[in-house]
Amino acid sequence: MTLYLSIAIIVFIYVVIFQIAKASEYVSILKGEEASRKQNNKINGFLMVAFLVFGFVGIYVCNELYYGKTQIAQGAASIQGEKVDEMLFVTLIVTGIVFVITQFLLFWFAYKYQEDTNRKSFFFAHSTKLELIWTAIPAIALTVLVVFGLRNWFFFTGEPPKNAMVVEVTGKQFGWIFRYSGKDAIFGKKYYKNVDPATNSVGIVWDDKYAQDDILTEQTMYIVKGTPVKLILGSRDVIHDVGLSHFRLKMDAVPGIPTTMWFTPIYTTKEMQEKTDNPNFQYEISCDQICGNGHYSMKGIIQVVDQEEYDMWMAKQKPQYYTAFPEKDPTAVPVVADTTAKTAVVKM
Ligand SMILES: [Cu+2]
């Protein structure tokens, strides 16, 4: 129904324009070709200026209405994100100034230099000076922007500080799996043929002694406010992309080719809920790469908490090894408390 209506409207507009054009053609025949052309030029010149004014007013109004609803207005939630926002603002200011000047000149000139029989046009075929100016200035400006961008890129994708925690993120159709290295701070080896959705979702090699304390979680990742976190990204099937809009980072998760990035969150989820005045606020991981029919639902949650809360959460996690081999789980004996479980992990 909407489709037919849209087509009808388009046809109708076309017919109206066609009729107006036809009518103005008859008018020009009656009035004389030249007089009507001059009048049309005047109208066009005026419309150009009107378009310029409405355009700028429109930009201003849209900005007033919608800026507050964007994530930019909320502010970035990581040190790296603040640098990204800084780059965005500098780029917007530089391109904004150029945009305003060029659009103003374009439409103003269309009005000012409309047909005038008393004016003679100025003609020149080439100006080396002009060519140099309009080549050199954008080239220098873009080089500066790119250099800042590259510097930040190498910072985000380079080595994190020594105190950084490391989380391995694996994308799958359609969700996220997070792996923590456990007490030994070393991830166990993986082999794709070991993948078993029920007990070994990323294909851990259980014989590897570093693997036996690895902790797996799905959909929700815990990290600590103020502590740098390095993400090692991968995928179990097709290419996904870890999109962290609040932290202003994104990176492809590619099967077989680990990619990395790191960031330092500066607000806990709770602080962000207060800051945004939204008690339901959650940091999200979105999949930023179309990856199949469930792509839209591929959402993960990041809980940014303080160290104490993180330690409490971590203490409750059970190494995946015990899910794969329940008979080896010391906590399976009903009387044994949580603390014993941790000692058991250390001994291994
Ligand atoms: Cu995906």
> Has residue 263 been placed in a domain?
yes
> Has residue 311 been placed in a domain?
yes
Show the low-confidence residues of the chain (pLDDT under 50): 336, 341-348
Residue 119 makes CB contacts below 8 A (sequence gap 6+) with 113
Q: Ligand 1 mean position to 178 CA, how many Å?
A: 15
> Has residue 135 been placed in a domain?
no
Q: Would you state the pLDDT for residue 321?
A: 82
Q: Ligand 1 mean position to 278 CA, how many Å?
A: 27
Q: Would you state the pLDDT for residue 348?
A: 42
> Has residue 192 been placed in a domain?
yes
Q: What angle do CA 115, 120, 124 make, to 5 degrees?
A: 110
Q: Ligand 1 mean position to 249 CA, how many Å?
A: 16
Q: What is the spatial distance between Cα 173 and Cα 229, in angstroms, rounded to a whole number? A: 24
Q: Would you state the pLDDT for residue 114?
A: 85
Q: Ligand 1 mean position to 18 CA, how many Å?
A: 48
> Has residue 120 been placed in a domain?
no
CATH of the domain at 204: 2.60.40.420
**Domain range holding 269?**
165-347
Q: Ligand 1 mean position to 169 CA, how many Å?
A: 12
pTM (predicted TM-score):
0.76
Q: Would you state the pLDDT for residue 205?
A: 83
Q: Would you state the pLDDT for residue 332?
A: 67
Q: What is the spatial distance between Cα 144 and Cα 40, in angstroms, rounded to a whole number? A: 45
Residues that place a CB less than 5 A from ion ligand 1: 240, 287, 291, 298
Q: Ligand 1 mean position to 38 CA, how many Å?
A: 59
pLDDT tens digits along 196-238? 887 888 888 888 888 888 888 888 999 999 999 999 999 999 9
> Has residue 136 been placed in a domain?
no
Sheet architecture: strand order including 220-224: 220-224, 299-305, 283-287, 240-244, 249-253
Instruction: Give how many domains the chain has, as a whole number.
Output: 1
